[in-house]
Homo-oligomer: A and B are copies of this chain.
Amino acid sequence: MTKLQNDLLLRAARRETTERTPVWMMRQAGRYLPEYRAVRAQADFLTLCKTPELAAEVTIQPVDIVGVDAAIIFSDILVVPEAMGMELLVEEGKGGPRFPKPLRTAGDIAGLATDGAADRLQYVYDALALTKTQLASRVPLIGFAGAPWTLASYAIEGGGSKNFETIKTMMYDAPALLHDLLGKLAGVVGEYLVRQTQAGADIVQIFDTWAGAMTKDAFLEFSLPYMMQIIEHVKANSTVPVILFAKGANSAFPEMADSGADVLGIDWTVDIGEVRAAIGNHVALQGNMDPVALYSSPENIRTEVRRILEYFGNHPGHIFNLGHGILPTVPVPHAKAMIDAVKEISVEIRKEEQE
């Protein structure tokens, strides 16, 4: 294996000292880039995910265009329930992906195909392998998967949800059934991530996008244990660091810090310096600029980047990122202003503190 030319992300994830703060953006391969839209004009969303050449192309675009310190494989978290037998629809302008036949009964859940599910995601591994080759060791490649709670939310609600009424009612009134589903998802996701590392992922992220909808107790019973099971499986079968991003689960930072994850992703509503101080030094942190701040002027974006870098301070273990995905209408020069500011200001901060 060739040594990476830029391994800042991996070193920061392991809390090693770095000469500057690495930076990438959630949804960095996406609609805000004209180059991405040009590829999407040729293929629908799922075809793009399932065609390794196209997926690799859009995965690498932000490395070339905005200069991020890592590539994240272009895919979607919902390919996992699809590989378990659920019909997945991603239609233009219809309010996000949906499962027309959501899981509602014990029979629905019993009918999920766990055996061979990780095999049916071969197109993701192929895309990772091709991307890895095409990246030519420039930057690390990030693999990812959705957390069981978030995947179960989509699978049970049938799509995005405002209040999560169906899954939460199952949680209260049929908890054993929900645990059964979450266990199945955790098994498949764990194996899926291990296979991603075998295909070339240098680091993996677990996205628990809907963690913030839960009570802390529910998070500790229905989400975190399954993510920990996944982390344990990845750690037992690979050497890659794991990033855990449970958006909005901000009352469970102490428990997440002990989850086995190397890095915790944090959203923009918390002060990254306060979080670092509260949970101590045994995990790295990733975040946490408000995605909407990218609509402000490049000068103000720079001020916001400086604020976050200074709040974190000159400690090892910071990966700069947005606190959630980049919005599709952000101007590319604004995204680039953020990336450039992180690169420049984080070097300044290290120098200042040495003087």
A212 touches B251 (CB 8 A): no
Shortest beta-carbon distance from A248 to chain B in Å = 7
Partner among B164, B250, B296 whose Cβ is within 8 Å of the Cβ of A172: B296
A173 touches B293 (CB 8 A): no
Residue from A163, A172, A270 having most chain B Cβ neighbours under 10 A? A172
Closest residue on chain B to residue A292 by CB atoms: B168
Bound-complex Cα distance A292 to B212 (A): 14
Partner among B169, B213, B296 whose Cβ is within 8 Å of the Cβ of A296: B169
Residue interface bits A30-42, CB-to-B below 8 A is 1, else 0? 0000000000000
Interface size class of A (residues with CB under 8 A): 20 to 34
B290 touches A215 (CB 8 A): yes
- In residues 298-314 of chain A, which contact B (Cβ within 8 Å)? 300, 304, 307
Question: What would 18 more interface pairs be, CB under 8 Å, given A172-B293, A217-B307, A251-B271?
Answer: A165-B295, A168-B295, A168-B296, A169-B295, A172-B295, A172-B300, A214-B290, A215-B268, A215-B269, A215-B271, A216-B269, A216-B271, A216-B274, A217-B271, A249-B269, A250-B251, A250-B269, A251-B274
Per CB-CB distance, the 9 closest pairs between chain A and chain B, nearest first, are: A172-B296, A168-B292, A172-B300, A251-B270, A169-B295, A216-B271, A173-B296, A215-B268, A163-B292
